[in-house]
């Protein structure tokens, strides 16, 4: 990605990914608290039409590159390296418009139940057992001239979140995902909310008898869409990331739904639920190894006494 491409991404999506949400907004502009410091008044203005920002408290402004250079206190090169690691949906949408009358650079060639051993091994490395396999699909697709495959997690618009050991991305339209775990089509009254689908799978792994809906945002930029969907539930449980973006997202949801319950302290200081699951597995493994060592030492002592 180059500077022109990054500057074409909606700055509000970049801000949301960093945990900054608008205090007030309309169709033309959005106002934020100063993302570079601590202020109680919204002095950071985003012009949605021009996709430019201006910080009134300091009298400076600019484009996406200008913002990230100041925010990260780094160079253009390092900013672009940071962008490459993120999956901004507004850039994907622009790409989709750009190639609307052309041949797409990707093509889904097959969607099956999970069968590939490499993908199963990847899930096992992330702490999952076969209990989560029915919630995902195996997606085969072509990207340019390459034939690839990945674990696919579907969303409400028919798009896919993709993961394997070497690839993280999405295909088709970006949207939230909602899964019903009651094995019937009737919507549940309770819902559990996550930022990413690996956290949702972690919840299923740890709470195997849970009955309710799973809502995965798939991107912080889809927070408003998620909040609209949450209006359908009387019981809301939040399992969001323990970072600045997750905290701001949580605060926004709790402001709209004061009755929602935040469970992020359960897995603190881990960043998210999947990190917590992996840490529990590691702790159990280390505990088992310690007991085996102690048992072996006891056996050695008994053997020495007999001699």
Predicted pLDDT of residue 95: 41
User: Could you read off the pLDDT of 162-213 as tens digits, one per residue?
Assistant: 988 877 778 888 899 999 987 566 667 899 999 999 999 999 999 998 999 9
Tokens 């992996």: give the residue. Answer: 278
**Distance between the two ends of the chain, CA-based, in angstroms?**
71
Torsion of CA 73, 79, 82, 88, to 10 degrees: 120
Gap between the Cα atoms of 244 and 41, Å rounded: 19
- Evaluate if residue 286 carries a pLDDT over 60: yes
Q: Which of 175, 207, 211, 219 is nearest to 191 (CA)?
A: 211
Helix, strand and coil percent figures for the chain, each rounded to 5? 40, 20, 35
* Whether residue 83 has a cis bond before it, omega within 30° of 0: no
Confidence class for position 39, pLDDT limits 50, 70, 90: confident
Whole-model pTM? Answer: 0.65
């Amino acid at each position: 990605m180059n500077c022109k491409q990054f500057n074409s991404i909606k700055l509000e999506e970049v801000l949301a990914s960093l945990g900054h949400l608008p205090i007030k907004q309309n169709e033309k502009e959005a106002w934020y608290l100063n993302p570079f410091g601590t202020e109680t008044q919204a002095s950071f203005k985003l012009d949605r039409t021009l996709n430019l920002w201006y910080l009134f408290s300091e009298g400076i402004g600019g484009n996406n590159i200008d913002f990230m250079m100041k925010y990260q206190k780094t160079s253009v090169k390092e900013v672009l390296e940071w962008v490459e690691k993120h999956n901004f949906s507004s850039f994907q949408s622009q790409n989709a418009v750009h190639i609307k009358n052309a041949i797409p650079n990707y093509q889904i060639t097959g969607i099956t139940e999970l069968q590939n051993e490499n993908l199963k091994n990847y899930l096992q490395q992330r702490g999952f057992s076969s209990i989560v396999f029915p919630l995902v699909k195996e997606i085969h697709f072509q990207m340019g001239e390459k034939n690839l495959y990945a674990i696919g997690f579907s969303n409400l618009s028919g798009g896919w979140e993709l993961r394997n050991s070497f690839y993280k991305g999405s295909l088709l339209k970006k949207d939230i995902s909602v899964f019903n775990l009651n094995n019937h089509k009737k919507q549940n009254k309770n819902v559990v909310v996550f930022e990413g689908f690996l956290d949702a799978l972690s919840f299923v792994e740890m709470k195997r008898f849970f009955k309710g809906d799973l809502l995965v945002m798939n991107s912080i930029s889809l927070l408003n869409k998620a909040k609209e969907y949450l209006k359908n539930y009387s019981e809301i449980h939040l399992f969001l990331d323990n970072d600045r973006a997750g905290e701001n997202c949580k605060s926004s949801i709790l402001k709209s739904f004061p009755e929602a319950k935040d469970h992020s302290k359960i897995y603190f200081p881990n960043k998210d639920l999947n990190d917590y699951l992996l840490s529990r597995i590691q702790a159990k493994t280390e505990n088992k190894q310690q007991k085996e060592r102690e048992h072996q030492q006891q056996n050695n002592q008994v053997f020495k006494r007999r001699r």
